[in-house]
Structure 1
Amino acid sequence: MKRNGRLIAGLVIVLLVMLCTACAADKTESNKTGTASGNSDKTNAGVSDKQRVIASLKGDITIPTEPQRVIGLSVVYPELLYALGVTPVAVQNYHQDFPSYLKEPFKDTLKMGIAQTPDFEAILASEPDLIIAPTWWADKDYTQLSKIAPTVLLPQRDNWRDELRDIADVLGKKDQAETVIQDLQLKETEAKKKLHTLVGDETVMYMMIMAKELVIYGENIDRGSFIHKQLGLKPVKDFPQSELSLSISLEVIPKYNPDHIILQLDDEASEEVQNRYKDMLNSSLWKNMTAVKKNQVYMMGGKEWFSLGMSPLADSYAIDDVVHAFENKQK
């Protein structure tokens, strides 16, 4: 009887040990699974409140859930960030001054200038918690940038709308990106109707004066597409459709002879550009053009048009510019 009692007690002890071991193993495995997959509620509660993992061209990257100090490299990324409600802490800038539509919101933003290699010291001093850049611009600098802050490289795009959506995906602002796109599209549609009532089927030539040449933009390049497709202003009929833009001499301008000219100086501060502009204004070839005789030449552009066709902010500003210019000529 005693022997049977000992045997039963021994079996109970063995069973208890096995049960405890199984529970411990199950708990350990559960923890391992949660850590590996990132799907555990406990793990997410500890990590996802402040960080999340996103896929990028360099693999999965952990970034802040709500980044507070963002840098967007390339000249246009800061504009796309601001369109999504994010003011960058530092930017690469082409002009000394920001365009008027960014002057106030970027008043505390550090200007780093434009260079093939970014100013790493300035970026580090800005203490970013997230860096976003197009791969064609920053792939060569990725290793150094990622040592400063989590760096997300995004694919090259031909349309700013796709760039905006890419950035919005990183920031968790997809709905806001679509709102920006739709609002601008509505503004373009309304401007197109208004311009048609003002201009009708009269031709418009978009021309830029550069230091070494005069350039006419066609409807298949960003800037020209904005003027001729998005705003519906009729291009000159002899512009070759196979060309994005044409570099021409002063002697060739009369060949196109549009009803209206949108004129832009590439760099208003450039002495060469200003001299070429003055020479053109004093030319009899220029003075005898239809648009000049009818006083239908509209000086626009400058740094406000630098990102035209590449940013919703620049496009929105230019829409107002064009509509106001044509309206004023009708008064």
Structure 2
Amino acid sequence: MLLEKFCNSAGPSGNENETRKIIMNELGAFTENIDVDRMGNIIVYKNSSSSSLKVMVVSHMDEFSLIITGYNGDGTLRFLPVGYVDKNSLPCKTVRIGNKEIPGVIGIKPIHLQNRMEVNKSLSCENMCIDIGAFSEEECKKIVSLGDLVVFDNKFSQFGNEFFEGKALNDRIGCSILVELLKENYKCNLYGVFNVQGRIGQRGIYAAAYNIKPDVAIILDTVNGTDEFETPDCSRTIKLKEGPVIPFKGGESIFDRGIVKSIRNQAANMDIPYQKTGDTQKEGELKAVNLAAESCKISAVLVPCRYMNSNISLCSKDDCHNTFNLLKNYLKKL
């Protein structure tokens, strides 16, 4: 399964080589119009002789990770996050470190040794370490180097009959949908962009958008589900199994209302469920495309993803399928 390959690969921000190779192999089976720019973005171009309209569909390939920043005297490692992560979800998670994939466990002071203040305090990376089974700082230095990137050691699986679970669903789901979209033919000039460093300021898409200069850009990403246990009903605005989210606003930027309405109309015409929201809080690639591509109309189609900023996430099969069908038919009518 394509999504399984993507999720099980290691592609931390700034070192997406393994994930990029898998995407390139998949793309190479049906197109030769593939380019990798200096940033490491993959750009696939599908030409149309009947239109001059340039449409860019964007999905980032990197995942949030950790980076080794120091050694402790007992042989454990200090670290910091690369990209936003829920630090309370980190303790006792298994990880792989560096190109050698050294196995490790994120450790924390045992609960029975913590005082009341420590128990009630929010966790920080200073309170945690990574244990690789070394017994001294010298032994640890022989195995792990400062600056080594760390990814989580979770395997993709089908969760019940209706869900997927795994690491890096944000945004390997978008990557898998974009690969399938690129197998189709369209009347517009379509640029499929698998961008790097999406978790650390959307750096890759700045370069891609500046070089392509699209007329229309569609961000294909995930959005954090708000239907978790104990969430008040008034806050459950984004739910799994109720279709993709098509928002009007992201952070401090506004999506093009005409494009948003036309995508929503396409969903309604196809009886595809979708969710409305006024604001996604995070801008994602929106700000980068706005700054790098002049006079570009931007929209987004987002797949709900539960526990998105932790080491493992959950998504609905139906939401993924509906997102693909919606975008495929919308692009064919441009």
TM-score (norm 2): 0.29
Larger relative contact order (CA 8 Å, sep ≥ 6) = 2
TM-score (norm 1): 0.29
Higher helix share: 1
